[in-house]
A and B are shown apart, each in its own frame.
Chain A
Amino acid sequence: MGLHNRVAIVTGATRGIGRAAAVKLATLGAAVIATGRDETAGRETQAQIAATGGRGQFVPHDVAREEDWTRVTDAAFMHFGGVDIVVNNAGVFFVKPLADTSVADWDLAYRVNVEGVWLGVKHGLAAIAKTGRGGAIVNVSSLMGQVGYPNAIAYCATKGAITGMTKAAAMEGGAMRPPVRVNSLHPGVIWTEMITGQFGDSQELADAFAADTPLRMVGLPEHMADAIAYLASDESSYVTGAELTVDGGRGAD
């Protein structure tokens, strides 16, 4: 599953799933543009890539700002000569009853999770086409982009939007020559700051999520990184428009 001579952009690579994916892709030989809003954390991701002997460059990036996307794809061409892989991972998560969800809450989830990923599709397809080698886009949705969850109407709506746009983007990318594959990843409960920030960071809680999961464990960022690497690599060369659920079996329950 080598990714040698490939260039990958990973958004939200400052922590959690994004950082693990950036390090994994670099370990497999890809040159990685790791992006995010937190400069300090982004430099740490870059250092972790360097420590494994990989090639990585942090670029500051707010996925909801289109001008930032131009800067990020330009950086990929400048540092590594093109773009083959885009991992649209950056996202925001909150659990809130419908009645308590403010217009600002909705706007934040919509702008980052929906527009941020769509901009990644738009600029990713264009940058991969310009590079001319074909490629792959991985959109990180959620199990909550496949099934509902109480008190998460806004989040489920935005993650469902990623599921849907991925399929249409797969048709657009499939018609390109060489083609660009576009798939969505659907993590279950992955033990990251996104989860602990919302529900609390305790062993009791992790155990409770694990007990509620058929594989009897919470997911780790490394599990997601493996799935992202699969969808980014030629091992998935006939996979497009697909939903890959990596959730320890929660969705089947």
Chain B
Amino acid sequence: MELQGRAALVTGASRGIGRACAEALARAGCAVALTARDAATGEAAAAAIRDASGSAIFLQQDVADAAAWPGIVAEAERRLGGLDTFVANAGVSFAKNATDMTLDAFRSLCAVNLGGVFFGLQHMVAAMRRKGRGGSAILMSSIMGKIAAPGYTHYCAAKEGVRLMAKAAALELGPENIRVNSVHPGLISTDMTAIFPKDALAPMIPLGRFGEPQEIADAVVFLASDRSKFMTGAELVVDGAMSVR
């Protein structure tokens, strides 16, 4: 198992892409701290991993709460014996034109999708330094971190911000062998995309279908593993070619 001896923290791990990432990392031998706001679904996700002979704990967390990050990371380090892998996955989404949106709504999305990633990266990099073996940070952006859609000034701002955050971090942290990459999912079958009409949108995707959470998890395990050990500051687009048009 290629991730034996590694330990990861995955945010937004109670469902969707985050849960699939946590499960896939655990199957590869990685110990995983799952975090999410919802304790019931988060605990269930961690229990399911343990039932499948994986190593997993759950910690309740709102990633937007900057002050809570040090305590979350410290507890995960203590219980898993240090941390070397970070999957910054937690995110929220809604559509609204800028002209119709309140600043509070903009801020609440950016606090999770942009600020939550920044503070998570900051405290997880500190943990990776304490473990002293380099590390891999995988920041979940979106194809909307590269292209846009109407009604998504807030979401595109946060996701493209994450794309650049990964690049700057790759430059700063490369000398310590801490790799930082961004992942750009297209339309993936999750609760987040359940509002979209699948039959109307699937034909716009060259592969003709929505992706599955497991297909993002596969990319995340690759970026967590030594198979990608010369990759940093890169963008891994997993979208069935939707953004290539």
Please indicate the chain B residues that have their CB under 8 angstroms from the CB of A152 in the complex.
Answer: 168
Distance A198 CA – B243 CA, assembled complex (angstroms): 37
Please indicate the chain A residues that have their CB under 8 angstroms from the CB of B158 in the complex.
Answer: 161, 164
Please indicate the chain A residues that have their CB under 8 angstroms from the CB of B144 in the complex.
Answer: 164, 168
* B112 is an interface residue with CB less than 8 A from chain A: no
A157 contacts B150, C-beta separation under 8 Å = no
Q: Using a CB-CB cutoff of 8 Å, which residues 149-207 of chain B contact chain A? A: 149-173
Distance A140 CA – B38 CA, assembled complex (angstroms): 39
B98 contacts A172, C-beta separation under 8 Å = yes
* A222 is an interface residue with CB less than 8 A from chain B: no
B114 contacts A110, C-beta separation under 8 Å = yes
Known pairs A99-B122, A160-B161; A168 contacts B156 (CB<8 A): yes
- Chain A: CB-nearest residue to B161: A161
Distance A229 CA – B155 CA, assembled complex (angstroms): 28
Q: Using a CB-CB cutoff of 8 Å, which residues 132-157 of chain A contact chain B? A: 144-157
A165 contacts B157, C-beta separation under 8 Å = yes
Counting contact residues on chain B (CB < 8 A from A), the size range is 35 or more
Please indicate the chain A residues that have their CB under 8 angstroms from the CB of B163 in the complex.
Answer: 160, 164
Q: Using a CB-CB cutoff of 8 Å, which residues 154-193 of chain A contact chain B? A: 154-165, 167-172, 175
B168 contacts A149, C-beta separation under 8 Å = yes
Distance from A93 Cβ to chain B, minimum over Cβ atoms (Å): 13
Distance A125 CA – B153 CA, assembled complex (angstroms): 12
Known pairs A168-B151, A172-B97; A153 contacts B118 (CB<8 A): yes
Distance A98 CA – B173 CA, assembled complex (angstroms): 9
Please indicate the chain B residues that have their CB under 8 angstroms from the CB of A161 in the complex.
Answer: 110, 114, 157-158, 160-161, 164
* B148 is an interface residue with CB less than 8 A from chain A: yes
* B74 is an interface residue with CB less than 8 A from chain A: no
A171 contacts B149, C-beta separation under 8 Å = yes
Please indicate the chain B residues that have their CB under 8 angstroms from the CB of A71 in the complex.
Answer: none
Please indicate the chain A residues that have their CB under 8 angstroms from the CB of B165 in the complex.
Answer: 153, 156-157, 160
* A51 is an interface residue with CB less than 8 A from chain B: no
Partner of A114, one of B114, B145, B170, B173: B114
Please indicate the chain B residues that have their CB under 8 angstroms from the CB of A149 in the complex.
Answer: 168, 171
B161 contacts A121, C-beta separation under 8 Å = no
B115 contacts A110, C-beta separation under 8 Å = yes
Known pairs A164-B161, A165-B157, A170-B148; A157 contacts B172 (CB<8 A): no
A153 contacts B114, C-beta separation under 8 Å = no
B148 contacts A98, C-beta separation under 8 Å = no
Please indicate the chain A residues that have their CB under 8 angstroms from the CB of B67 in the complex.
Answer: 103
B125 contacts A164, C-beta separation under 8 Å = no
* B134 is an interface residue with CB less than 8 A from chain A: no
- Chain B: CB-nearest residue to A165: B157
Of B101, B150, B173, most buried by chain A (CB within 10 Å of CB) is B150
Q: List 20 A-B pairs, Cβ < 8 Å.
A: A99-B122, A99-B125, A110-B115, A118-B98, A126-B99, A147-B167, A148-B168, A153-B172, A156-B167, A157-B114, A157-B165, A160-B162, A161-B161, A163-B160, A163-B164, A165-B157, A168-B151, A168-B153, A169-B153, A172-B97
- Chain A residues proximal to chain B, CB less than 8 Å: 66, 97-99, 101, 103, 106, 110, 114-115, 118-119, 121-122, 125-126, 129, 144-165, 167-172, 175, 241
Which 9 residue pairs of A and B lie closest in terms of their CB atoms, listed nearest first? A164-B160, A160-B164, A148-B167, A167-B148, A161-B161, A165-B157, A156-B168, A171-B150, A164-B156
